[in-house]
Amino acid sequence: MPADPLSKVFSALADPTRRDMVARLTRADATVNELAEPYDVSVQAVSKHLKVLEGAGLVTRSREAQRRPVHLEAEVFDLMTKWIERYRRQAEERYQRLDALLATMPDGDPEPPDTGEKP
């Protein structure tokens, strides 16, 4: 189960219910019951979702009597953003290079796939 941090975060956000919880937590902290209310599933199921989000570092929880308020940790988002941006940038740069390359050869085939000579 050692699953790297990035995998855990992506995996955690791959579920629509979990994404919705995160969305709601950007507005305010909430208890498990509050979080569970809009969804048509048991409180236990939501508790499990919370564990996944917690394991991914997207969420922390404090104690306050018998309540366990859930708090969003937005920093983890940066992990993903960095990964995505990095490869998006590389993909774009490559696209630029390809463009430049095409510009240097106005019409010829760089590697003639077929030398013509077809009757």
Partner DNA sequence: CGTGTTGTCAACCAAATGGTTGACAACAGG
Partner DNA sequence: CCTGTTGTCAACCATTTGGTTGACAACACG
Binding site for DNA (CB under 7 A): 1, 11, 14-15, 17, 31-34, 40-45, 47-52, 61, 65-69
**CB 50, min distance to DNA, A:** 6
| Complex with a second copy: residue 26 or 115, whichever CB lies closer | 26
**CB 84, min distance to DNA, A:** 19
38 binds a second copy (CB under 8 A): no
14 binds a second copy (CB under 8 A): yes
List, as one string, the DSSP characters of the chain: ----HHHHHHHHHTSHHHHHHHHHHTT--B-HHHHHTTSSS-HHHHHHHHHHHHHTTSEEE--BTBB--EEE-TTHHHHHHHHHHHHHHHHHHHHHHHHHHHHHSSS--SS-SS-----
11 binds a second copy (CB under 8 A): yes
6 binds a second copy (CB under 8 A): yes
